Amino acid sequence: MRHEIPLIWHPVPQDATADSQAVSDAQTAYDSVWADTSMPVQQSTGLEAQLLKEDKLYAVLAVVLIIWLGIVFFLLRTDRRIDRLERRVDTQNSDS
Amino acid sequence: MKNRYPIIRTLIILWMSVVIVGAFLMDIPRMSILEHTARNLYFHVPMWFTMMAGMTVSVVYAVRNLLQPNLDFDGRSAAAARVAMLFGLLGLITGIIWAKVTWYQGTNVWWNFDPRQTFAAVCLLIYGAYFMLRRQLEDPEQRGRISAVYNVFAFTTMPFLLYVLPRQVQSLHPGADGNPAFSDITDPRMRLIFYPAVIGFIAIFWLLYNQRVRLQRVGRRVGQDR
């Protein structure tokens, strides 16, 4: 059976009901809005299931790897630019 | 030398990628309070090692510049200090975040003037003045000599601020009295990633330092003196 996900399945903050304010102090105000929300119950599969393992640690790994690849991309691009500059200065100096 | 550079660069990038993956995937002992944040050891601590290595490169070229004035030595000294400063700032910021979720968990405290953190911040401020000083001096040769002298001063304060003084006082940071830092009680599995991470970050320092040195050289050849 396919789980029906409504367009907005979480209560928007203004709709937070009075009983959500009675939630224990251990939960933050943010939690009180979201605590009684029902999550889609379908089993995570594939990539999502992998990312959720180990307290969602692998999701952090994915984020860090993407940041790292971005930095590497910049590093290589800067190197290429310096290469080009060096070549241009070389040819200019040999011309004059 | 020049054609070997892309190979070295590729090796460093691969090395660091393996370190990052290992830092997340390797099993570590779960300790209360620390939990998974113990993995910060692989990232936060190498920042300071890298800063110290970078400042060492900087002071070596500062001294060489004093012994035998040379704009290239001065440029290398400044470039190394710049990149080392970046790692120092990253070390301070990552330390603040780590402290927030461990030492100061459950409080709204981000910064409580822990001696170790305070001394580290003072060290960064001392080096901050180095860059201020450089900006004020117009003549490249004078700039090189005066900032080299200041560099030697700043470098001599670093071991005291980062190593000696924090161990003389009580601090929440490992490495204080009765609270060993990285030592024989550290799980051997963590060394497997920690040491390669230190090497990897120092290698990244070298890549960034190298770029700045090359840019300066090109700049000097087209008549730009800073």
Could you read off the pLDDT of B146-191 as tens digits, one per residue? 999 999 999 999 999 998 888 888 888 887 665 666 665 677 888 8
* Per-residue model confidence (pLDDT) at position A23: 47
Residue B83 phi/psi, 5-degree rounding, is -70, -40
Long-range Cβ contacts of A47-54 (<8 Å, 24+ apart): none
ipTM of the complex: 0.72
**In chain B, where are the structural domains located?**
2-25+36-221
Can you tell me whether residue B172 is helix, strand or coil?
coil
Provide CB contacts within 8 A for B123, sequence distance 6+.
B88, B157, B158, B161, B162
* Per-residue model confidence (pLDDT) at position A15: 47
Is residue B70 exposed (0-12), middle (13-18) or buried (19+ Cβ within 10 Å)? middle
Could you read off the pLDDT of A28-39 as tens digits, one per residue? 556 666 666 666
Provide CB contacts within 8 A for B71, sequence distance 6+.
B140, B141, B144, B220
Residue B41 has pLDDT above 80, yes or no: yes
* Per-residue model confidence (pLDDT) at position A56: 81
Closest chain B residue to the Cα of A78, Cα to Cα:
B211
CB-CB under 8 Å, B36 with A57: yes
- Closest in A58, A82, A89 to B211, CB measured: A82
Residue B193 has pLDDT above 60, yes or no: yes
- Chain B segment 180-209 residues within 8 A of A by beta carbon are 207-208
Q: Where are the alpha helices (DSSP H) in A29-95?
A: 29-34, 46-95
**What distance in Å separates residue A49's CA from the closest CA in chain B?**
16
Partner A contacted by B215 (CB < 8 A) = yes
Provide CB contacts within 8 A for B186, sequence distance 6+.
B194
Could you read off the pLDDT of A49-94 as tens digits, one per residue? 877 777 788 888 888 999 999 999 999 999 999 999 999 998 887 7
**What distance in Å separates residue A83's CA from the closest CA in chain B?**
9
- Closest in A57, A60, A75 to B207, CB measured: A75
